[in-house]
């Protein structure tokens, strides 16, 4: 249920948003993942999604997510839930979104999704990164600006997590040497491309299909990066249907051999999962590195 210390804040926020005075009349608990609590709430006959946590270590998480959703929305490519507000009340950080009624993907959903992601990725910037840090899962994601993708990928994505994983005794000396070998050759792997606006955590749990059969992106970890990162992430836990990739490639043709770089791109989310969920992911990291370097 909603914490009592949050109810008044949410009702004040919704009163401003709806321009109607009232109270929350219904609360249905939802899955919020392993980090947050979540619920569907009803105010003046309209449904909203709210999630919250009490963890002071995750400072600014909800504001970062709200900013990421608004950033994606401003690109006018893929739909996102409308942000109602975010903040901190009585030690509880929260995010409120307009609730998305869902259905199962049907018909041309995947072609639409592929085309819209291609449109999103055509939004570019002068450098790789973002003006602020954000989160991927419960880990802070640094987005300091770099002029080249290889430097950004190495210094803002892999090295910080290698340090954390090494301190947690997840990475041994032999695995560290494999990463060192990769860094010596990293410039050779990725084709040169402009920075692309990325969702940043695009797996099957981070999109919805709304009632109009349109894709809706949720839980972003946005930054300007190499677009193959988003596509590789879609393949990490089973992959999207082939017509998604075909539609994407039609509207924004991919560089040759992009599929051979999937294991390289996915070193980052695998490191994230190893840190958050344990050493069962370390073997896949080791296997990916050996395949990349052979």
Catalytic residues: 201
Q: How far apart are CA 152 and CA 187, in angstroms?
A: 11
Taking the C-alpha atoms of residue 272 and residue 191, their distance in angstroms, rounded to an integer, is 24
CB atoms within 10 A of CB 57: 8
Spatial contact of 13 and 46, defined as CB atoms under 8 Å apart: no
d(CA 168, CA 271): 12
CA dihedral 74→207→38→26, nearest 10 degrees, is: 80
Joined together, the tokens standing for residue 183 give 């860094």
* CA–CA gap between residue 219 and residue 65 (Å, rounded): 7
Please, how many CA atoms are within 13 Å of residue 192, restricted to the half-sphere of its CB?
A: 2
Q: How many CB atoms lie within 10 A of CB 91?
A: 11
Question: Measured between alpha carbons, how far is 178 from 168 in angstroms, rounded to an integer?
Answer: 18
Q: In whole angstroms, give the CA distance from residue 43 to residue 235.
A: 38
With tokens 């069962």, the residue in question is 280
CA-wise closest residue to 240 among 203, 267, 199: 203
Structure-block tokens of residue 170: 């997840």
What is the largest distance, in Å, between two alpha-carbon atoms of the chain?
Answer: 65
User: Which candidate, 186, 185, 133, places its Cα nearest to that of 160?
Assistant: 133
């Amino acid at each position: 249920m909603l914490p009592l210390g949050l109810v008044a804040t949410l009702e004040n926020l919704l009163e401003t948003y709806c321009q109607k005075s009232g109270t929350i009349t219904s609360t249905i608990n939802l899955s919020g993942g392993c980090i947050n609590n979540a619920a569907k709430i009803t105010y003046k006959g309209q449904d909203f999604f709210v999630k919250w946590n009490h963890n002071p270590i995750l400072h600014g998480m909800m504001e970062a997510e709200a900013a990421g959703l608004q950033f994606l929305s401003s690109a006018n490519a893929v739909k996102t839930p409308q942000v109602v507000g975010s903040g901190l009340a009585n030690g509880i950080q929260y995010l409120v979104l307009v609730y998305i009624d869902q259905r199962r993907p049907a018909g041309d959903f995947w072609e639409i999704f592929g085309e819209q992601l291609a449109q999103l990725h055509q939004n570019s910037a002068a450098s790789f990164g973002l003006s602020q840090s954000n989160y991927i899962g419960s880990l802070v994601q640094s987005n300091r600006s770099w002029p080249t993708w290889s430097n950004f990928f190495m210094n803002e994505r892999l090295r910080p997590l290698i340090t954390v994983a090494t301190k947690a005794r997840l990475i041994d000396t032999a695995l560290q040497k494999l990463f060192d070998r990769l860094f010596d050759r990293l410039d050779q792997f990725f084709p040169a491309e402009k920075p692309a606006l990325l969702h940043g955590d695009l797996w099957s749990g981070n999109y919805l299909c709304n009632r109009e059969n349109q894709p809706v992106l949720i839980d972003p970890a946005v930054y300007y990066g190499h677009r193959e990162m988003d596509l590789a992430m879609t393949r990490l836990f089973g992959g999207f249907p082939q017509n998604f990739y075909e539609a994407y490639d039609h509207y924004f043709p991919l560089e040759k051999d992009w599929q051979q770089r999937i294991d390289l791109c996915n070193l980052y989310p695998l490191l994230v999962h190893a840190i958050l969920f344990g050493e069962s992911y370390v073997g896949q990291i080791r296997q990916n590195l050996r395949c990349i370097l052979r």
